[in-house]
C-alpha cells in the first residue's frame, strides 16, 4: 500500500503526491448520508491498518446499524455479526485464529444497548481484540431513536420532547465502565469533530491496534461521531454540537493504558486495586 509517494526522486517543477487513498479503502461512493462521520472513521482505520501492515492478516466483524456495510468499504476479510454480537463472534475468531488481527466495528445502539452483555464479557475476559465504538448518540439506521448514549434533553424519534432522566435514565459512559476491568489494556475516547481531533483519534486507533500486535488484552476506542440526519442538523451544526454538549458529556482522552503484554496489564490492574 502506498500512502505517500517518496519525496526523494521528485525533481523541481514536478508535481509531488503528498496523499493518496490507502489501497485497503474501496474506490467507491458510500451509502452514508452527507457529512456522516462513519466515512472518516473508516478512512482512519484504513490508514492505520495500512501503516501497520495489517490488511492481509485482518478479520473484522461488522455490526447492525448504518455501518453494517463497512465490509463494502474496507477491503479485508469480514464476518457479519448483527445485533450486538460482534465481540462474541470476534472471541471465536480469536480462539481459532490466534495469528489474525481481529477488529470489531460497532455503533452505540449495537454495542451499548443491543449487545451490552457481549462487550462487557469480551472486555472482562481481556480478549485480544481491537474494538472501534462509534458513538453518535442515536440509532441512526432505524430512524433516529434514543440510544443509551443519547444526551439528557436530546430529542429523538422515541424521545420527541427530549430525553428525561426520570423516565428514561441517564447516558451511559460505557468506555469508562469497561476501562475499570483488568482485562482492558487500552480504552480511549476521541472524536471526528475537527481536523486536529481527527489526528488525535487516529493516534488512539493506532495505539489500540498496536496493543493487540504486542500481545495486550482488550483495546477499545470510542469515536464520538455525528448523525446530522438523526440530529436534525446540518453537517456543520452537528460538528459544533459534537464539540460542545457531546464532548462535555463524554470527555476526550485516554481513559486507561495498562501497557502490554497481557501480564503487565494484569499487574497494573492488581496494583490499582
Ligand X SMILES: Cc1ncc(C[n+]2csc(CCOP(=O)(O)OP(=O)(O)O)c2C)c(N)n1
Taking the least distance from each CB to ligand X, the nearer of 47 and 110 is 110
Q: Smaller CB distance to ligand X: residue 66 or 184? A: 66
What residues from 140 to 169 belong to the interface with ligand SF4 (CB under 6 A)?
140-141
Nearest Cα neighbor of 136 from 125, 127, 126, 147 is 147
The binder of 36, among ligand X, ligand SF4, Mg ion, none, by C-beta within 5 to 8 A per type, is ligand SF4
Q: To which residue does cell 501503516 refer?
A: 51
**Sheet containing 101-107: order of strands:** 77-80, 58-62, 101-107, 130-135, 218-224, 184-191, 253-257
Q: Does 136 bind Mg ion (CB under 5 A)?
A: yes
Q: How far is the CB of 137 from ligand SF4 (least distance, A)?
A: 10
Residues 78-107 that bind Mg ion (CB under 5 A): 107
What is the pattern of x (binds ligand SF4, CB under 6 A) and - over residues 108-137?
Answer: ----------------------------x-
Residue 110 contacts which entry, ligand X, ligand SF4, Mg ion, none (Cβ below 5-8 A, type-dependent): ligand X
Residue 156 binds Mg ion, judged by CB under 5 A: no
Q: How far apart are CA 45 and CA 123, in angstroms?
A: 21
Give the shortest CB-148-to-ligand SF4 separation in angstroms. Answer: 16
User: If you count DSSP H runs as helices and E runs as strands, how many of each does the chain have, helices first?
Assistant: 11, 7
Q: What is the CA radius of gyration of the chain?
A: 19
Residue closer to ligand SF4 (CB basis): 218 or 231: 231
Grid cell, residue 39, equals: 466515512
Stretch that binds ligand SF4, among 29-37, 43-51, 215-223, 257-265 (CB under 6 A): 29-37
Q: How far apart, in whole angstroms, are the C-alpha atoms of residue 171 and residue 240?
A: 20
Residue 223 φ/ψ, nearest 5 degrees: -110, 110
**187 neighbors 208 (Cβ within 8 angstroms):** no
Chain residues binding ligand SF4 by CB under 6 A are 32-33, 36, 38, 66, 136, 140-141, 227-230
Interacting residues with Mg ion (CB under 5 A)? 107-109, 136, 140
Amino acid at each position: 500500500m502506498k500512502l505517500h509517494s517518496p519525496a526523494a526522486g521528485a525533481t523541481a517543477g514536478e508535481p509531488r503526491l503528498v496523499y493518496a487513498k490507502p489501497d485497503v479503502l474501496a474506490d467507491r461512493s458510500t451509502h452514508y448520508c452527507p457529512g456522516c462521520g462513519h466515512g472518516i472513521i473508516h478512512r482512519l482505520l484504513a490508514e492505520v491498518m495500512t501503516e501497520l501492515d495489517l490488511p492481509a492478516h485482518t478479520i473484522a466483524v461488522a455490526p447492525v446499524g448504518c455501518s453494517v456495510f463497512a465490509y463494502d468499504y474496507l477491503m479485508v476479510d469480514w464476518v457479519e455479526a448483527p445485533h450486538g454480537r460482534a465481540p462474541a463472534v470476534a472471541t471465536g475468531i480469536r480462539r481459532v485464529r490466534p495469528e489474525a488481527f481481529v477488529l470489531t466495528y460497532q455503533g452505540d445502539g449495537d454495542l451499548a444497548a443491543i449487545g451490552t452483555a457481549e462487550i462487557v464479557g469480551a472486555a472482562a475476559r481481556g480478549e485480544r481484540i481491537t474494538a472501534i465504538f462509534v458513538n453518535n448518540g442515536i440509532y441512526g439506521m432505524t430512524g433516529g431513536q434514543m440510544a443509551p448514549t443519547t444526551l439528557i434533553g436530546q430529542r429523538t424519534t422515541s424521545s420527541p420532547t427530549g430525553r428525561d432522566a426520570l423516565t428514561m435514565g441517564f447516558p451511559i459512559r460505557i468506555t469508562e465502565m469497561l476501562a475499570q476491568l483488568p482485562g482492558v489494556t487500552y480504552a480511549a475516547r476521541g472524536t471526528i469533530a475537527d481536523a486536529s481531533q481527527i489526528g488525535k483519534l487516529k493516534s488512539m486507533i493506532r495505539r489500540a491496534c498496536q496493543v493487540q500486535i504486542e500481545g495486550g488484552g482488550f483495546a477499545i476506542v470510542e469515536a464520538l461521531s455525528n448523525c446530522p440526519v438523526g440530529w436534525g442538523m446540518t453537517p456543520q451544526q452537528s460538528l459544533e454540537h459534537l464539540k460542545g454538549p457531546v464532548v462535555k458529556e463524554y470527555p476526550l482522552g485516554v481513559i486507561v493504558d495498562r501497557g502490554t503484554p497481557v501480564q503487565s496489564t494484569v499487574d497494573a490492574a492488581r496494583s490499582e486495586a
